[in-house]
Amino acid sequence: SSKAKPGTTVEFYNEEMRVDFTDKIKITNELKKAIKRGEFQLHYQPKVSKSKQLKSVEALIRWKNKDMGDVSPALFIPLAEECGLIHKIDQWVLYHACKQNKEWQNAGYPKIKVSVNVSVKNFHQSQLVEKLKETLVETKLEAKYLQIELTESVFIENSETVIEMIHQIRQLGVSVSIDDFGKGFSSLSHLMNLPISEIKLDRQFITNVNADHKKALIASHIVEMAHQLNFNVVAEGVETSEELEFLKQIECDELQGFLFSKPVPKEIFEQFLKAPQF
Ligand code: C2E
Ligand code: MG
Ligand code: MG
Ligand code: MG
């Protein structure tokens, strides 16, 4: 397998690809220094309404390392979770996403919510609720302009404590979204009694949904049930106008994907804030 040689770019990773052991050590060591060296950056991807209005924005971390080049979060986030660096990284993201959103508001742009992904691995060590409080105070962002995206695997770890944490987050006025919904094995019944605002339908149900009867069936039923439970539904990974048409038909509330925009640096995202119509 390939090693991360200087100047090469680690771009792609999935379950089938294992990270070489030496690469893993190298990446983990570099990761430890990344915050101090200022190697992280945020990109922003819009969430768009059915009528193509800008509704909110998801902040996604980007890492440019001096030797390895761009390293995908799909690769380094799991490593950061393994080596215990994830909470530091998530706190960095949380602070910068909130600060940026407040700066956009101060600049007079329309106010939108920013979504931040938070890892739930060993979440009991993350002091998430305390960090949220601190960050909102420090950045002066109102809680209603922040949303936390948790993956549904949150419910595998320790449901009692997670449920308590979600209630506390809501009490702060921060909303909670369940990311990659349908990817794991949780069901809407898990979420029924939780103060959740949104679920994000995993990309697997969206890709080619217009040409796959089974996907279409599942997607439409999830949307219907989610609405009965008062959850907002966002479709992830919308790439084609055929997918969009189908998602509109089943009344999916919001859409996100390359069809509208890839995650982009803040300067480019500001163009969407200036003209929030897609
Ligand atoms: P996610 O939160 O589910 O984010 C969606 C991923 O899908 C992003 O990949 C995004 O670039 C990609 N995507 C968006 N639209 C499309 C599309 O139309 N087609 C395709 N093929 N892909 C699309 P990215 O940025 O590489 O992030 C991957 C995952 O890494 C995220 O999945 C999230 O779980 C994690 N992640 C990213 N940033 C952070 C972070 O700050 N903290 C934590 N804990 N995890 C993060
Ligand atoms: Mg997400
Ligand atoms: Mg997702
Ligand atoms: Mg996903």
Ligand 1 binding pocket includes 17 (Cβ within 6 Å): no
According to the model, what pLDDT value does residue 17 have?
54
Ligand 1 binding pocket includes 204 (Cβ within 6 Å): no
Residue 230 CB-half CA count within 13 A: 6
Closest ligand 1 atom to the C-alpha of 119?
A: 44
Alpha helix locations (H) across the chain? 21-34, 73-83, 86-106, 128-139, 154-157, 159-172, 188-191, 203-206, 213-228, 241-249, 266-274
According to the model, what pLDDT value does residue 157 have?
61
According to the model, what pLDDT value does residue 115 have?
98
Q: Which residue has the tokens 């605002």?
A: 197
pLDDT tens for the 278 residues of the chain, in order: 344 445 455 545 554 456 677 788 899 999 999 999 999 999 999 999 998 999 999 999 999 999 999 999 999 999 999 999 999 999 999 999 999 999 999 999 999 999 999 998 877 777 999 999 999 999 999 999 999 999 877 777 667 888 899 999 999 999 999 999 988 767 787 788 889 999 999 999 999 999 999 999 999 999 999 999 999 999 999 999 999 999 999 999 999 999 999 999 999 999 999 998 88
How far is residue 105's CA from residue 114's CA, in Å, rounded to a whole number? 12
Mutate to test the pocket of ligand 1, among 41, 77, 150, 268 (most ligand atoms within 8 A of CB): 77
According to the model, what pLDDT value does residue 16 have?
45
How far is residue 276's CA from residue 264's CA, in Å, rounded to a whole number? 15
According to the model, what pLDDT value does residue 121 have?
83
Q: How far is the CA of 27 from the centre of ligand 2 (A)?
A: 22
Interface predicted TM-score (ipTM): 0.98
Q: Is the dihedral of CA 147, 148, 150, 155 positive or negative?
A: negative
Q: How far is the CA of 60 from the centre of ligand 2 (A)?
A: 8
pTM for the full predicted model: 0.93
Mutate to test the pocket of ligand 1, among 117, 178, 254, 264 (most ligand atoms within 8 A of CB): 117
